[in-house]
Structure 1
Amino acid sequence: MSQVLVTGAGPTGLAAACGLLRRGVAVRVIDKADGPATTSRANFLHARGSEVLERLGALGDLPDRSVRAMSITTYLGDRPVMHIRFGDPQMQTAAPPMVISQAEVEAALRARLTELGGQIEWDTELVGLHQSNDGVLATTDSGAQHQTDWLIGCDGAGSATRKLADIGFPGVKLSERFLLADVALDWDLDRSGTTGWIHPAGMLGVMPMPGGMWRVIAYDPDGPSDKPSDAEMLSRLERILPERTGRRVQITDVGWLSTFRVHRRLADTYRRSRVFLAGDAAHTHAPFGGQGMLTGLGDAENLAWKLATVIGGHAEPALLDTYESERRPLATEVLRSTSAVTKVNVAQHGFGRFLRDRILVPVMNLAWIQRKITYQTSQLWVSYRRGPLAERSLPWQRPRPGDRVAGVSGEQLRGGWALLSGERALLDVATHRLGPDVQMLDDPVDGDALLVRPDGHLAWRGTDAASLDDWLRRALSTGTVR
């Protein structure tokens, strides 16, 4: 019997499993696929995602193997009309944004899972679950049954976990077909950034990938086949690339070809008693802005430390309600922003094209707008200060409870909590409530001690041990301090 069953061995499921194993929780991971995916799928990880991997001990040499394509240049015809740069130094992070395939991120997480004593059971699909007050009885496609205390569904947009838990997944379709490909291209385009073209037939974007490949994405609503074969997709790309870029280009190798349509969906709830949803099982949206894998990793980290704290006996189950309270509003914001970008990208007629080409493009060249966009997509702005675990604070204080704390590394957190203080009395209170996983860092801020959560967000700030004890008592017993 495991304490937690994780369905799905993608980035979200692997990150959740690693976070739990690092805190001493027994985890079982199953996936219906017959082995690891080899296609790239998502291919950009923003700085916050790198921070999550670093805290899990899974970042490794991914930055060295990634491509640093830290700009986007957009053309209208043969004229460059917009240029955006990423990696703003004001973001206050040492973790780099990376152009790296999802397959490489998953491989790094699998290696970390193995280091922590975990393993993946491939070719094993969840087909039934029954909940009781004591746990979840899960049934797999082989007919085997497994008793577990908790179940986390990280099994994608078609999540069997979500369906079996009877959780609704409402949404709408936002676009017709896009072509997606990883290909080698013979042309003279600069590989230092992403390039896009606004074209009457549909947008086209290309991004350099490791190994000399290019990621190509092209809106293709008028393609001749609803479900094209690889040969048909390749033929379409061979026509679309020179037509929309105005450049001589030849496809010399093909790594992966696919299609997708953009749907926006959000689960009615992230929790049904002892069953949780995370990643694409809880929310799906457009790939523009690289928010999918990033948001899933954040879900996994948030849920893992809370579940481990409950399983370890340091908190009541009420703490687990804060997972949805903190993460679902973020997903709502991501769905809103990516939906807006999708509508702009697919605009082909009338007012939509005028708004994009003549108004939005010039505005996007403004320096302060570009800083806002890059900061927004990085998710370094994410804060839980309006959530149930954040006490109200003075508006001029930085960081405020719930905010991300810059400068505290994963090595300093070591999978647990960090106390930035030189006061032994505060450490005694923290370890009494939280157990030994509290690292003391003699680095208070503006005279205040800071208690930093395992996910790098500020839990509490102050100077008084009694105040800290009161915050921990309320947070860990009721899941709210407001």
Structure 2
Amino acid sequence: MEVGSMVLVVGAGPTGLALACGLLSHGIPVRVVDRAAGPAVTSRANFVHARGSEVLARLGALGDLPTESLRAMKVTTYLGDRPLATVRFGDPTLRTAAAPMVVSQARVEAALRDRLTALGGRIDWKAGLTGLDQDDTGVTVTLGTGESVRADWVVGCDGTGSATREQAGIGFPGVRISERYLLADLHIDWDLDRDGTTGWVSPAGMVGAMPMPGPGEDLWRLLAYDPTSAQGRPTEQEIMDRFRRILPERTGHTDAHIRDVTWASVFTVHRRLADTYRQGRVLLAGDAAHVHAPFGGQGMLTGLGDAENLAWKLALVVREHASESLLDTYQAERRPLAAQVLRGTTAVTRVNIAANPVGRFVRDRVVAPLLNLAPVQRLASYSASQLWVSYRTGPLGAGRLGHKPRPGDRVPDLACTHPDGRPTRLHTELGGRFALLVPDDAPGWSPNQWGVTLRFTEGRPGEAWLVRPDAHLAWRGRDPASLARWMTETLTTGPTR
């Protein structure tokens, strides 16, 4: 049995890798295991919104992803050959690490694996979790290799069919809807705009086409609602043949020539939310805790947010700088967001696959015209970005009253000054640690024991701000003694709200 003070991360997808990188950046020993034989070469998820780029940047894993990705920031929907709506997405005027990116989840995982290696971490493949037994001091895990591992904490990031969740006895209520979809990456010769995603709605079902990065200008991701296709798992050739029939029937593009397929899959939609994100020393994150329809690119984004939120809290607990009660704020902050995302993606799915006359009328005559309005498009872009996420009503927040940003709100990437006098930016200095922003004319602030002390060069509110490692405001005020009390109450005795 392997024995030692460490966190065992089960699952080497984007959530597990992000969590492991976050913990390693705090100096916490981590072991990552995964039941797969090796890294995925492609994936269903292929979109990273603004908040996801921020998380990757703070982890040091953003790298060249912005230059490798596409900027297909437009979604055009057709009914036959008649345009219904064109929605333009983009950076909603808030400073972010990168604009929304069309990039495969597999490429995001590769960037995170590179960062994991640079931090001294590694992944054990073919080593899924098969057994779990916890007590007051730790967790004993059995792996598929037969190895027994002892860890202080275990975090299940092992997807919808999470063995960690099942072994911990955590319920995963919800439904599996008979919404069967075909998905494929195909080389297609046709005259279609690569500046954005195109969708077609028809009584037979929706079809979507998204340009994908790669050599040449002919790689496309196709998605089709196909509830009446044959049961069982079709081969890649069968999926490609099905798309050859679907495209002219539903889009009118008789000129589309599908040359070959690079990857194909079929899936049905699950809508589930774990009863709890923590059972003793076992925690859940990402798809192991919540799963929903893929529309809107919210799955990987929400998982990355889970990982960043949990990493700094778990690190403080492992290092005995905080009590275990801090971990309860992870669920309090992240589970309501997952529930909201589930509701939103469910609503979008119902609009996309509306089959009855009333549903189609509402979609085509009510929803579509609204989506052509600029204010609605800005709202849609902002909603998809998750830059609006706030924890102000949670146990670490300060409620809805007070000056913005309130404790719990996201803090923009402000310009500031480093202690050595050089100009810098707030999000650059976080990197897994707290940042204390203080005014130039405010004496009495000692060095920040939890991170770095910076000077405002933008905003200058006349008070100090303590910013969490995940870029949310932790505290604001003018009295250093008040900050010391807040740290003691929050970390030692537990949150007061």
Which TM-score applies when normalising by structure 1? 0.96
Which residue identity lines up with residue 233 of structure 1 in the other structure?
Answer: I
- Cα displacement (A) at 1:320: 0.6
| Residue 220, structure 1, aligned to residue 226, structure 2 | yes
Which residue identity lines up with residue 21 of structure 1 in the other structure?
Answer: L
CA distance in 2, matches of 1:293, 1:89: 20
Match of 1:274 among 281, 284, 289: 281
In structure 2, the partner of 1:174 is 177
Counterpart contact for 1:427–1:440, Cα < 8 Å: no
Q: 1:471 to 1:283 in 2, by over 3 A?
A: same
Match of 1:232 among 233, 238, 248: 238
CA distance in 2, matches of 1:117, 1:425: 38
In structure 2, the partner of 1:470 is 485
Counterpart contact for 1:418–1:441, Cα < 8 Å: no
CA distance in 2, matches of 1:333, 1:91: 22
Counterpart contact for 1:55–1:414, Cα < 8 Å: yes
In structure 1, the partner of 2:444 is 425
Counterpart contact for 2:274–2:290, Cα < 8 Å: yes
CA distance in 1, matches of 2:474, 2:328: 16
- Cα displacement (A) at 1:175: 4.1
| Residue 12, structure 1, aligned to residue 27, structure 2 | no
CA distance in 2, matches of 1:120, 1:82: 45
Partner secondary structure for residue 455 of structure 1: coil
| Residue 343, structure 1, aligned to residue 362, structure 2 | no
Q: 1:296-324, CA deviations, whole angstroms, 9 ceiling, x for partnerless residues?
A: 00000000000011112211111010000
In structure 2, the partner of 1:407 is 413
Which residue identity lines up with residue 143 of structure 2 in the other structure?
Answer: T
| Residue 51, structure 1, aligned to residue 51, structure 2 | no
In structure 2, the partner of 1:201 is 204
- Cα displacement (A) at 1:477: 2.0
Q: Which moved more, 1:237-246 or 1:471-480?
A: 471-480
Q: 1:174-232, CA deviations, whole angstroms, 9 ceiling, x for partnerless residues?
A: 34211001111100101000011111100111111101311110001111344222222
CA distance in 2, matches of 1:324, 1:229: 40
Q: 1:86-143, CA deviations, whole angstroms, 9 ceiling, x for partnerless residues?
A: 1144233242210000010000000000000000000101111111111001111222
Which residue identity lines up with residue 341 of structure 2 in the other structure?
Answer: V
Q: Which moved more, 1:414-423 or 1:31-40?
A: 414-423
In structure 2, the partner of 1:440 is 454
In structure 2, stretches of 5+ residues that fail to align are: 415-425
What are the residue-to-residue correspondences of 1:57-456 with 2, within 5 Å?
57-211=60-214, 212=217, 213-247=219-253, 248-392=255-399, 394-395=401-402, 397-408=403-414, 409-422=426-439, 423=442, 425-428=444-447, 430-431=448-449, 434=450, 437-443=451-457, 445-456=460-471
CA distance in 1, matches of 2:71, 2:495: 41
What are the residue-to-residue correspondences of 1:35-50 with 2, within 5 Å?
35-50=38-53
Q: CA RMSD in A?
A: 1.4
Q: 1:23-42, CA deviations, whole angstroms, 9 ceiling, x for partnerless residues?
A: 00000000000100011321
| Residue 480, structure 1, aligned to residue 495, structure 2 | yes
- Cα displacement (A) at 1:260: 0.9
CA distance in 2, matches of 1:193, 1:8: 32
CA distance in 1, matches of 2:313, 2:95: 26
Counterpart contact for 1:412–1:439, Cα < 8 Å: no
Which residue identity lines up with residue 84 of structure 2 in the other structure?
Answer: V
Partner secondary structure for residue 425 of structure 1: coil
- Cα displacement (A) at 1:394: 4.0
Partner secondary structure for residue 395 of structure 2: coil
CA distance in 2, matches of 1:386, 1:237: 47
Q: Which moved more, 1:228-237 or 1:294-303?
A: 228-237
Q: 1:228-282, CA deviations, whole angstroms, 9 ceiling, x for partnerless residues?
A: 2222211110011121111110111211110111110000000001000000000
In structure 1, stretches of 5+ residues that fail to align are: none
Partner secondary structure for residue 339 of structure 1: helix
Counterpart contact for 1:426–1:468, Cα < 8 Å: no
CA distance in 2, matches of 1:19, 1:34: 24
Q: Which moved more, 1:46-55 or 1:172-181?
A: 172-181
Counterpart contact for 1:11–1:109, Cα < 8 Å: yes
CA distance in 1, matches of 2:336, 2:326: 17
Q: 1:88 to 1:147 in 2, by over 3 A?
A: closer
Partner secondary structure for residue 218 of structure 1: strand
Identity over the aligned pairs, expressed in percent? 62
CA distance in 1, matches of 2:496, 2:149: 36
CA distance in 1, matches of 2:446, 2:285: 33
CA distance in 1, matches of 2:493, 2:210: 47
More helix by share: 1
CA distance in 1, matches of 2:238, 2:97: 43
Counterpart contact for 1:389–1:479, Cα < 8 Å: no
Which residue identity lines up with residue 194 of structure 2 in the other structure?
Answer: R
Which residue identity lines up with residue 420 of structure 1 in the other structure?
Answer: L
- Cα displacement (A) at 1:424: 5.8
CA distance in 2, matches of 1:88, 1:115: 30
Q: 1:356 to 1:174 in 2, by over 3 A?
A: farther
- Cα displacement (A) at 1:445: 3.8
Which residue identity lines up with residue 152 of structure 1 in the other structure?
Answer: V
Partner secondary structure for residue 352 of structure 1: helix
Partner secondary structure for residue 15 of structure 1: helix
- Cα displacement (A) at 1:172: 1.3
CA distance in 2, matches of 1:237, 1:2: 52
- Cα displacement (A) at 1:407: 1.1
Counterpart contact for 1:175–1:346, Cα < 8 Å: no
Counterpart contact for 2:53–2:96, Cα < 8 Å: no
Q: Which moved more, 1:87-96 or 1:377-386?
A: 87-96
Runs of 4 or more consecutive aligned structure 1 residues displaced over 4 Å after TM superposition: none
CA distance in 1, matches of 2:183, 2:293: 13
